[in-house]
Amino acid sequence: MKTHSAIYHKKKIWKMGWVALMVAGFIMNCGASQLRVALSHEISNIDPQATSSVEAIKVQSALFETLVIVDSKTGEIQPFAAQSWSVSQDGLVYDFILRDDLRWSDGSPITAHDYVFTFKRLLQPGLAAPFSSLYFVIVGAEAFNASGSDDFDDVGVKAINDLQLRITLNLATPYFLTLLCRPCVGVIHQGSVLAAGELDSRLSAWAQTSDFITSGPYKLQSWEVNRAISLSPNPYHRSYRDLQAREIVFYPMESAYLQERAFLKDVVDVTSKLASERIAAYEESPYLVKDPELGTFYLVINHQRDEMRRLENRLALNATIQKDYVVKYLRKRGELPADAFSPPAWAQYKPAYKSTSIVSHQFTGQLTLIIASSAMNQVIAEALQAMWMENLGIQVNIEAQEAKSYFQRRSEGDFDLCLGSWIGDYFDPLTFLEIWRSDSPNNFASWHNTDFDGLLDHAATVIGVEDRYNVLRSAEQMLIDQQVIIPLFYLNRVYLRKPHVHYWPQTILNTVNYAQIVLH
């Protein structure tokens, strides 16, 4: 098969004056114990239950103490606020024993009752917390979220005493501990929240001032919107004396080119991204980092369109894509071509993919491919367009949309094909499979299969890891055999890091274990 290379239109967006201002006004006096981190955008709120962006999670991870954390190297769950825990034989009851030295940043003790309040606020219907539905596996959580009642007694989150927290689930959920690593269930200070306004207010400013009370290893020192967020160590946190970063400063910079320039000018120590066309320049340097992300880039197929209802058409589209070419020559990020939708993050879980040769097809007209407007999306779309024309003789029209229009057209099914990506919300294959349930709000393919739904329902009743993976594997095999979507590649996070930041503990869930940072 022949391919057509795409032309990059390089945009130099250095914004020299802004960088010079930062260098002169903020940074040149930094010491070895200051860590400077670029964010891809300004965050809308530090409140961990009101925001959901990856960049917000980076900041929130430093400020809010979760019961457990995920190890950034091994992916295993480790104690954090909870020094130990036990799980009942049926997998429904989790008992956590809290450390006895947990302290708020004002020195007062953190107790199991504070975690109960944290869950109660997360599940408030008026708050509409982005991740609240993940916790509907807890007894009574979904009903409480739907009712608007203030009575939390029927929800399975209980403080047995000041140092023991019990969480009871509706059904065995093997990945439940990974849900407890998210900042949205990091303990929040009840007095601060209520003093600033209503319990369920998304507009509350309780987490925006330098004196707000935190539970994590750091506290907020200052926040200059669109300029910098500065954190200093929480003097009452158990890790206070061991924290190597005595100040963390986050700088919002949307442009990858601007971040690179700031890195080279010694404005930041860690970027959040690097433009694909700039990766080659750093391949031999000590700065370049490529970490696997829990995410997949793929093509959504609209099963409501006549052309897309035919299995042979879907198989032909997939068979004529040179995924190796896309990752090697377009993305240039060391990413792996994708055959299944779930990334290869679990050693015991791997669907059996069967390669498909080009098959006959019955395309009778042109197709429309919508993309969110970006240089990289355009490059990938043009490559796919060329491959399909060369090998199938079909015309695919690319329509680049600004974000709002793209999301609207995707939701309304106004497309034949659509480029998209999915980042897992928790560390389990189910986070990639459940979006294709018939009733999922993220099922933009409009594919409905009761057998698939039944397999996911059945998996929820299976306790053994291997047995459960076998059920999920069968469900994913159905996605592959029916070519429900077209996985293209598994995402990598590519960024620059200064050598003196010896260990940057960002996890596959995009949380950061700041107490483990090592600076030389």
**335-352, pLDDT tens digit by residue?**
999 999 999 998 889 887
Residue 433, classified by CB atoms within 10 Å of its CB into exposed (0-12), middle (13-18) or buried (19+), is buried
Nearest-angstrom CA–CA distance, 412 and 171: 34
Q: How many other β-carbons are positioned within 10 Å of the β-carbon of residue 256? A: 21
Q: What predicted TM-score, i.e. pTM, was given to this entire model?
A: 0.85
Q: Which helix (H) or strand (E) holds 264?
A: helix 256-264
Nearest-angstrom CA–CA distance, 202 and 464: 40
Nearest-angstrom CA–CA distance, 319 and 487: 11
Q: Which helix (H) or strand (E) holds 314?
A: helix 311-319
Please give, one letter per residue, the 3-state secondary structure of 102-117.
Answer: CECCCCCECCHHHHHH
Distances, alpha carbon 222 to alpha carbons 126, 154, 212, 247, 499, in Å: 29, 40, 11, 11, 27
Residue 3 has pLDDT above 80, yes or no: no
DSSP annotation of 27 reads I
What are the DSSP calls for 153-201, one per residue?
TTSSEEEEETTEEEEEBSS--TTHHHHTTSGGGS---HHHHHHHS-TT-
Instruction: Dihedral sign for Cα 209, 210, 214, 218, please.
Output: positive
Residue environment code for 262-289, b if the CB has 16+ CB neighbours within 10 A, otherwise e: bbebebbbbbbbbbbbbbeebeeeebbb
**46-102, pLDDT tens digit by residue?**
999 998 788 999 999 999 999 999 998 888 999 999 999 999 999 999 999 999 999
Residue 416 has pLDDT above 90, yes or no: yes
Backbone angles phi, psi at 399, to 5 degrees: -125, 105
Of all residues in the chain, the percent with pLDDT exceeding 90 is 80
**18-53, pLDDT tens digit by residue?**
344 334 334 443 445 999 999 999 998 999 999 878
Q: How far apart are the first and last CA of the chain?
A: 50
Q: Which helix (H) or strand (E) holds 324?
A: helix 323-325
Residue 87, classified by CB atoms within 10 Å of its CB into exposed (0-12), middle (13-18) or buried (19+), is middle
Of all residues in the chain, the percent with pLDDT exceeding 70 is 93
**243-260, pLDDT tens digit by residue?**
999 999 999 999 999 999
Q: For residues 374 and 419, which has the higher predicted lDDT (pLDDT)?
A: 419
Residue 459, classified by CB atoms within 10 Å of its CB into exposed (0-12), middle (13-18) or buried (19+), is buried
* pLDDT band at 389; cut points 50, 70, 90: very high
Which residue(s) pair with 68 in the sheet? 79
3-state helix, strand, coil in the chain (%, to 5): 30, 20, 45
Distances, alpha carbon 249 to alpha carbons 26, 218, 252, 269, 467, in Å: 10, 12, 10, 10, 46
Residue 260, classified by CB atoms within 10 Å of its CB into exposed (0-12), middle (13-18) or buried (19+), is buried
* pLDDT band at 211; cut points 50, 70, 90: confident
Question: Greatest CA separation found in the chain?
Answer: 70
Which tokens is 14 given?
């250095």
